[in-house]
């Protein structure tokens, strides 16, 4: 019995997914920022806390990595443009965020989708 329990535990440990995670977040954009030294160069403040949907993220901001650390910088700026579009049109974005890629503790948005009203 003990041997079966140990084998079962080993199987579960090797089959379990990685602890790193991503999550989807749909929110309104409240503010955007561009910074020359921090936050991956650009971010958006959203009205739904990333920390509420994914552990390890700081509250209220997501980074697009305009510095090019986690995606090409031009892709980061396109994500920022999507956030700015949502801000001025008062529509929402849906962002896929990751807690393994952080800028100053803020989670990286791997994907950003604009949403119709």
Q: Which residues pair with 22 in a beta bridge?
A: 98
43 and 32 in contact (C-beta within 8 Å)?
yes
pLDDT digits (tens, 9 = 90+) for 47-103: 999 999 999 999 999 999 999 999 999 999 999 999 999 999 999 999 999 999 999
115 — pLDDT class (breaks 50, 70, 90): confident
Structure tokens at 25: 């977040």
Structural domain spans, the chain: 19-114
Q: What is the pTM of this model?
A: 0.81
pLDDT at 12: 41
19-114 has which CATH code?
2.40.50
**Which residues in 1-117 belong to E strands, given as ranges?**
22-34, 42-46, 61-63, 92-103, 106-114
pLDDT digits (tens, 9 = 90+) for 10-56: 444 443 344 559 999 999 999 999 999 999 999 999 999 999 999 99
115 and 94 in contact (C-beta within 8 Å)?
yes
């Amino acid at each position: 019995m003990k041997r079966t329990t140990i084998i079962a535990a080993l199987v579960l440990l090797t089959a379990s997914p990685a602890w790193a995670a991503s999550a989807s977040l749909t929110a309104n954009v409240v503010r955007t920022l561009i910074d020359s030294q921090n936050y991956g160069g650009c971010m958006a403040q959203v009205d739904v806390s990333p920390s509420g949907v994914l552990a390890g993220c700081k509250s209220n901001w997501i980074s697009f990595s305009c510095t090019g650390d986690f995606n090409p910088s031009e892709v980061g700026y396109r994500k920022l443009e999507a956030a700015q579009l949502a801000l001025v049109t008062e529509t929402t974005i849906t962002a896929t965020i990751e807690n393994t890629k952080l800028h100053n503790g803020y989670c990286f948005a791997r994907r950003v989708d604009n949403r119709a009203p």
